[in-house]
Amino acid sequence: MRVALVDAGGANIGSVLFALQRLGVEATLTGDAQIIRDADRVILPGVSTAAMVMGRLRELDLVETLRNLERPLLGVCVGMQLLYERSEEGDVECLGLVPGKVAKLPVSSAIRIPHMGWNTLQPLRASSLSEGIEAGDRAYFVHSYAAPVTADCVLSSDHGVAFAAVVRRGRVSGAQFHPERSAKVGARLLQNFLERDLA
């Protein structure tokens, strides 16, 4: 299987590559549009701001490539947020592959932002992407902005407000948590993305 890891400049790229290697997959880190189009699976990581990662995609001339991709695509962390139409973080236009707007998590005296650490997952609908992940399983998050819980949401979590932890809309999927840092849950999500029919 050919797996392309989009070189979006995120600090988590190395750990995503290692997580895939643990599953027996040697992914290609690339900013080349043709390699991305030819891949069987494409992963868009991101650790930064929505504006910075979208800027990187524009520099590489990959925005339309990702918008028109015919292969399964998984966005991770900020990469998931970029799947939406817009992000409040810098008021930036994103890829528009999933309807909705990413917003800042609400601040209160009881809630610390950024949301950093392990949190529980709640299944909302059946999906081959989340097969084997149960209610109460935990994943590792680091983020200040989040996508809303909509019909595209497969798994949710809660940090002052419910938010989308995993989404899927056709061939497009996203994980707000870091699968590369989420032990068995993260490995299972990546394995499902690689092995299940997500066309």
**CA–CA dist 79, 141 (Å, integer):** 13
Of 78, 77, 95, give the one whose Cα is nearest residue 86. 95
24 three-class SS: coil
Tell me the pLDDT tens digit for each residue of 126-139.
999 999 999 999 99
| Percentage of the residues of the chain whose pLDDT score is greater than 90 | 87
Q: What is the CA radius of gyration of the chain?
A: 15
Average pLDDT over residues 68-94: 96
> In this structure, are strands 41-44 and 73-76 parallel, antiparallel, or unpaired?
parallel
Tell me the pLDDT tens digit for each residue of 148-187.
999 999 999 999 999 999 999 999 999 999 999 999 999 9
Higher pLDDT, 30 or 10: 30
- pTM for the model stands at 0.95
The listed CATH number (3.40.50.2300, 3.40.50.450, 2.30.30.100, 3.40.50.880) that belongs to domain 3-195: 3.40.50.880
**CA–CA dist 50, 185 (Å, integer):** 25
Given a cut of 80, is residue 9 above it in pLDDT? no
Q: Which residues are catalytic?
A: 77, 178, 180
Given a cut of 90, is residue 14 above it in pLDDT? no
**CA–CA dist 96, 190 (Å, integer):** 23
Of 165, 127, 142, 167, give the one whose Cα is nearest residue 46. 142
